[in-house]
Amino acid sequence: MPRRAFKVFVELEGMYRNLVEQLVLYAVNNGITKFTRLKAERYHEVRSLYPQLPSHYVYTACQDAAERAHSFLRLRRMGRARKPYPEVRGVSIWLDDHLWRAEGLTSISMTTHRGRVRVSVELNKHFLRYVNRGWRLASEAKVKLDRRDRRLVFYLTFKKEVSEYRPKGYITVDVNEDAEAVLIDGLVYLLETDLSRVTLGYYYRRKRVQERYDRVYGLGSRPERKIFKRLSNNEGALKKEIRWKLAALIAREAARRQAAIVLERLGKEPANHMIEHIKDPQLRHRVFQAAFKGMQRAIEEKAREYGVPVIYIDPRNTSRTCPIHGAEIIYGRDRHGTCSKGGETWHRDVVACYNLLLRALSGDGGHAPSRMRALVTVDGGPVPLGPTAAHEPAGVPRALWARWRSLGATSDHKLVRVST
């Protein structure tokens, strides 16, 4: 933006920040967490501070402050607040329908203390994706000042009227360190992500750089920090790309079949047995965040975009019991095990996927077909789940699935070629 126009927003932000600071202080002192009460008690006084400011900024500042006070008081109750009062550091100005208006797709007009200001906008891909899928802008928005590039960053909310989504089936996803097992139409795809390998790879590269540079330039030198920054940018970008691509693939398949996505409910701590072999707690945390949490979050976000519901299932013992016999599976090496009752061979990820599906089917009593359940309760060998081929996942390397638009469109010969 031109300097002069931007100055208006700098002034606006200053006033807004001051309002929020005062309101938060009052709210925390009086234990107020509700917008309505904060507004009722403080509106008139705060309003008179800046008579030139459109009154709706006082409303939104009250909302902003009430939310900040709410989360601060909750942290304090849990003993996790580090300061006696919440600090108002980053500010984004909250807007309601009186304060801004989208004018087509090219500009936004905002009400300020200096009248209406029209700002031309540059849309991003994300925005257009939502608009194309039939989402409409909601009336609430936030705007943040980017002082370095002298521009405004708008945070918009989309909404959509949806008819009730009655899942006709489930797609179950078992997230692992380096691959994701996805059960679609009775076939388990093992889509390789290599996420933990990426994390570990960069970790060791950083370590090598550190050792070399510390020796030459001393601890934490400038060139070392520069390389670190570049490495972590590359790492982040690569992981992000892997996650989004895979999440989009799964969400698209679910939407096409009108299926729900079934995920494991993950705990907060990286106590997952999958990464026990990593001793460094920080590194373990990073692997967990990237490979498990990050992957799940990407799927959730993509599912939302496509309007697909996500169901969470308790993952306890999902890979330990035979989906057919309910008996324990004894695992040997290389993720393969034998059912202690039927004697058939199972791949660990296939077991997990089927058990997640069974739990989903029995859990919500839902609208999904009971075909799977009927087949699985039939006793007597691996027949209900098909020939042994079904017990072996179709492994798909990242280079391959990253180019797919859908799983169904891939002919089976491709898969066979890969898995043999």
Q: How many CA atoms lie within 13 A of 160 on its CB side?
A: 15
Three-state secondary-structure class, residue 391 = helix
Decide if 85 contacts 25 (C-beta within 8 A).
yes
Q: How many CA atoms lie within 13 A of 324 on its CB side?
A: 23
- Nearer Cβ to Zn ion, position 213 or 346? 346
Least CB distance to Zn ion at residue 168 (A) = 28
Amino acid in position 374: A
Which residue's CB comes closest to Zn ion?
339
- Nearer Cβ to Zn ion, position 169 or 323? 323
Least CB distance to Zn ion at residue 84 (A) = 60
Residues 389, 391, 392, 393, CA torsion sign: positive
Amino acid in position 182: V
Separation between Cα atoms, residue 27 and residue 37, nearest integer Å? 9
Tokens of 244: 């989004």
Binding site for Zn ion (CB under 5 A): 322, 324-325, 339, 342
- Nearer Cβ to Zn ion, position 363 or 384? 384
Least CB distance to Zn ion at residue 250 (A) = 28
Tokens of 160: 């959509």
- Nearer Cβ to Zn ion, position 311 or 324? 324
- Nearer Cβ to Zn ion, position 175 or 339? 339
Q: What is the 3-state secondary structure (H, E, C) of 234-277?
A: HHHHHHHHHHHHHHHHHHHHHHHHCEEEEEECCCCCCCCHHHCC
Element spanning 311, H or E: strand 310-313
Least CB distance to Zn ion at residue 190 (A) = 20
Please name which of 328, 317, 306, 327 lies closest in space to residue 356, comparing C-alpha atoms.
317
Decide if 75 contacts 81 (C-beta within 8 A).
yes
- Nearer Cβ to Zn ion, position 199 or 319? 319
Least CB distance to Zn ion at residue 323 (A) = 8
Least CB distance to Zn ion at residue 344 (A) = 5
Tokens of 251: 């969400």
Least CB distance to Zn ion at residue 328 (A) = 9
Amino acid in position 191: L
- Nearer Cβ to Zn ion, position 300 or 328? 328
Tokens of 69: 């006070």
Least CB distance to Zn ion at residue 342 (A) = 3
Outline where 314-347 has alpha helix (H): none
- Nearer Cβ to Zn ion, position 54 or 342? 342
Least CB distance to Zn ion at residue 213 (A) = 55
- Nearer Cβ to Zn ion, position 145 or 324? 324
Separation between Cα atoms, residue 87 and residue 285, nearest integer Å? 28
Decide if 328 contacts 320 (C-beta within 8 A).
yes
